[in-house]
Structure 1
Amino acid sequence: MDFISNLVIQVIQTLYHFLGSVGFPNYGLAIVLMTIIIKIILFPLTKKQIESTRAMMSIQPKMKEIQEKYKNDKVRLNQELARLYQEQGVNPMAGCLPLLVQMPILFGIYYAVRDFQYEGPANFLWMENIANPDPMYILPIVSALTTYIQAKQTMPPKKAGDKGQDGIMGMMQGQMMTYFMPLFIGYISLSFPAALVLYWIVMNIMQIAQQAYINSQMDRK
C-alpha cells in the first residue's frame, strides 16, 4: 500500500512540474490528469469486470429456475449451475478478480491524495486550498450526483416477473445502493479534503464514460 501511495505522490509531483513547465502549475489539475491516466491504464480490468457482470445478469433467470428446481438438492444444484456457466461461457469469479486487483491501487490513491503534502500553492478553481474541504460545498454535491449516476447506470433493468420475495429484496437492496450511497458519499465529502473529493468525482466521471462505452459495444453484438 505504501509503495502505491508513494508512486501516486511521485506521479502527482511529476504532473505538477510538467504543468508548470507549460505555464499551468496547479495541483488540482495534476490530480485530475493523474486520475484520468490511471482510469485509462485500468480500463482493461474495468472492461473485464463490466462484461462479466453483464454476463451474469443475463443468465439470472436461468439461475433462479435451477435454484428453485434443485433447492433441496445442493449437490445437483451446484452441478447444474456449473453446467450453465460452462454452456454460457460465464465465469462467476471473473467479475471479482479485476475488482480485487484494483482495490489496493484505489486505496493507495486514496491515502496518497488524502495525505498529500503540497510544496506550492494548492488553489484550484474557486478553492484557495484543496487540502481543505470545499468551502462552497460544490464538490460534495457533485460527488453525490456522480455517485448516483454511476449507481443507476449499473442497476439491472426491472422485469415484470420480479415480484416475488427475491425480486422485492433485490429491488430494496438496489434502491439502498442507488440512493443511500450517494447521500453518504456527499455527506462525508463535506469534511474530506477537496483534493480527495475531486479525485472521486473525476474517477466517477471516467467510470460512467467507460461503462457507457462498454455497454454500447456489447449492445451492438
Structure 2
Amino acid sequence: MSQLRYWVWLASVDGVRTISLCRVLEHFGGAMEAYFAPEERLSELEDLSPQERRALSDRSLERTELILALCQEKNIRILTLHDAAGREFGRAVTQWCIIDLAVRKAIDLNTVIGPCTDTLVDAPSPTEKPRKVMGITPQHVMEHRVVYSDIDFNRHVNTMRYINMMFDMLPIEQLTAIRPVRLDIHFMHECRYGQTLTVGYEQRDGLSLFEVSNGEEAAVRAALEWR
C-alpha cells in the first residue's frame, strides 16, 4: 500500500500534464522518490511550467487517502498504460461476477443488484465490447504440466501463465511484429497444481484462437487479434 499511495498522489495532482508526470517519474525514478525529493529539485526539470512545479510541491496526502478509501469501498481497479511521451498504448476492461461459494456457480446479478446500485457509474467503456470465443479446431497442440512457478497462493494457475502458454504457441515472426493487439480471454474453470494441461491453437481470419483444457473440460479460451 505504501508504494501505491505515492502513485495515486502523483496521478491525482491537478494541473500537471501526463507528459510532465512521465518526466517526473523518469527523473526521480519512481513516485515515492518524487514525493520525498526536496521541492527545490523540481527546478531540475526544465520542461515543467511554474504552475506544475507549484502543484507538485503540495505533498498533502489527504486527497490520496480519500481516493484509496473510495477505491476500496467501490472495488475499483484503475489501470493506466502510457509511454514516456505520455501517449496511451493500452486499455483494459475486466468483467466480474459474484460466485456462490457453496456451489461454485455464478449468481444472477439481477437478484443482488439492489444493494450494489451505488457502485454503478455512468461512464463509457474505453474498449469495444468483449468478443465471444467459442470452441476452436486446434491446428497445433502442446501439453504443459502445472508446476510451482505457474500457481498463485490458491494453487491455481496464474492469469499471466495462461497468456505465456498461448504466446509460446505463436511463431517468433508474429510475436516480433510491431502491431497493436487486442486480447479477449475467458476464464471458465480453474486449473490446479499438478494437472497436465492441453493448449490448442488455431489461426482463423486474422485471429489467433486458443483453448486450454485441464483434461476434463475447456478451462480458458482466448482470441488474439493482430491489426
TM-score, normalised on structure 2? 0.26
Higher relative contact order (CA 8 A, sep 6+): 1
Which structure shows the bigger proportion of residues in helix conformation? 1
Larger Rg: 2
TM-score, normalised on structure 1? 0.27
